[in-house]
Amino acid sequence: MLKLQNLTFEIEGKGKIIDDISFEMPSGKFLVITGPNGGGKSTLARLIMGIERPTSGRIIFNDVDITEKSISERAKMGIGFGFQQPPRFKGMTVRRLLSLAEGKELTEDRCCNYLTQVGLCSKDYLNREADFSLSGGEMKRIEIATLMARELKLAIYDEPEAGIDLWSFKTLVESFKTMSKSRHESVMIISHQERIMQIADDVLMLANGRIRAYGTREEILPTLMGELENCELSPEGSDNKWIS
C-alpha cells in the first residue's frame, strides 16, 4: 500500500533528518512509529503527507508515485494527517471544521458522534470557535475528530497523545481501535506511548533518521522494553519519554 524507496530529507547545515529510508507498509495495518525525540519521526510523517518534500527517494502509494503530488492531491487519494500542534481558526466553529474534513455539511448528530468519541461533551463544542478559547487538549481532541470524520486509506497521526491527560488517554486508545476498523483502512501513529503500541500490528523504530527496527508488535516490543531497562527515563512528563 505505502512504499518508501531510499527516502532522504536533508536540511542545509543540519544534515540528514531522514537518511535513505526504505520500507513497505501493507494495507490494513496499524503501524506505530516510535523512537527518541529528534529521530525523524514527525519529519517522516510530514514527508508522506507532502508537507515536506524529500531531497531524494520516492513515495509510492497504492502503486502510484506520489512524490511530486501536492498535499491536497494526496488528501484526495485518501491520506489524512493529524497535526502534533493543530492550528486554530478564528471565526470557524468546530462543526464547520469537521464538515470541511468530511467534505460535506455534517448533521448535528454526526458531529456529536465524532466529538463524543474523542471524549468531548459534544453539545458544548459544536458551535464553539476552534480558536484560542479552547485549551491545547481540547484542540488536540478536535484534531483527532477531524480525522475520524474522513474515510481514509491511510490516517497518519503525529503524536496524538501529546497534550492529552492520562485519564482521557485510555478512552482515546479505544477510539483509535474502533476507528481503524471502521473509517480508516490503515493507520500510522507516531507515538511514545506503550498503550498505543499495545494495539499496533507493527512497530517501526526510528533513530537518527534511520530504521533501527521494524516488525510485528510481538517481535519489536520485547526488544524495545529491553533497551528501555538500560535507558534512563526523563522525570518530566510523557512528552520526554519515548515509552511510558
| Binding residues vs other proteins (CB under 8 A) | 49, 51, 70-72, 75-76, 79-81, 83, 85-92, 96, 100-101, 103, 146, 150
Are 141 and 190 a contacting pair, CB within 8 Å? Answer: no
Q: Which is nearer to other proteins, 114 or 242 (CB)?
A: 114
CB of 155 to other proteins, least distance (A): 11
CB of 83 to other proteins, least distance (A): 6
Q: Which is nearer to other proteins, 101 or 196 (CB)?
A: 101
Question: Which of 183, 133, 125 is CA-nearest to residue 157?
Answer: 183
Residue with cell 487519494: 77
**How far are the Cα atoms of 34, 63, 119, 214, 229 from residue 219, in angstroms, in the given order?**
14, 28, 32, 9, 17
Cβ-based burial of 173 (10 A; exposed 0-12, middle 13-18, buried ≥19): middle
CB of 132 to other proteins, least distance (A): 11
Contacts of 55 (CB under 8 A, 6+ apart): 8, 9, 10
Q: Which is nearer to other proteins, 93 or 223 (CB)?
A: 93
Instruction: List the grid coordinates of 30.
Output: 496499524
- Distance, in Å, from the CA atom of 196 to the CA atom of 193, rounded to the nearest integer, reads 5
CB of 24 to other proteins, least distance (A): 23
Q: Which is nearer to other proteins, 98 or 211 (CB)?
A: 98
CB of 195 to other proteins, least distance (A): 26
Q: Which is nearer to other proteins, 4 or 130 (CB)?
A: 130
